[in-house]
Amino acid sequence: MLGRLLGNASQSFLKRVSHIMKPQVIFVLGGPGAGKGTQCSKIVEAFNYTHLSAGDLLRAERGREGSEFGQLIDNYIKEGKIVPVEITISLLRQSMAETMTKDQTKNCFLIDGFPRNEDNLQGWNRHMEGKADVKFVLFFDCSNEVCIDRCLERGKSSGRTDDNRESLEKRIQTYLNSTRPIIEQYQKHGKVYTIDASRSVDEVFADVKAILIKEI
């Protein structure tokens, strides 16, 4: 079923973007609460990037009426586990295709919260090689304690079911065990910019802005 989903999405994606520029991608990684979404919003305001949050796309699909994967996604999120890569890539590709079809100049994407493990990375390489260029990784580095405190504060108004201590502790462990090794792999290839995310939003963005200006 997942293979069919990805296959159909792949054909549609290739058909839609064959006449426009290849997507240019920055992976945005860091622990839960590191400020990835906040910084991505500021990047979108200052640069011609489109922000795609893997988590937001999955949560939207989970809540979409008639979704055949809604319950599966819900179970994974509540347990702090990583959703099967076929679902995530399908949603990312669909969003990129829709964005680029509407505006051919919008081919730069911030993919926030992906790849989160080796399976994600292999899935991306398998299905997106030659179809999108990964420029580098923005790594927002922050202590576990700060991440948890930020998420608990966010949970008071976010309405997210996973902004509670039990889910957060599971998410932190998943991040440490699964995502940090992916960041380390990109570091070996010189494709990671590490940013101290424990500081204020404006201080962090000053570093982010300098990096993007350098890379443009």
Pick out the residues of the known binding site for a ribonucleoside 5'-phosphate: 59, 81-83, 113-116, 160, 171
Cβ-Cβ contacts under 8 Å for 81 (sequence gap 6 or more) = 170, 174
List the one residue out of 124, 120, 58 whose CA is nearest residue 91: 58
Binding residues for CMP: 120
- Report how far apart the first and last C-alpha atoms of the chain are (Å, whole number): 40
Helices (H), the chain: 2-17, 36-46, 54-63, 70-78, 85-102, 118-128, 144-158, 165-174, 180-188, 201-215
Binding residues: 33-38, 59, 81-83, 113-116, 120, 154, 160, 171, 199
- Cα distance between residue 144 and residue 168, in whole Å: 10
Binding residues for ATP: 33-38, 154, 199
- Cα distance between residue 17 and residue 63, in whole Å: 28
Cis peptide bond N-terminal to 115, omega within 30: yes
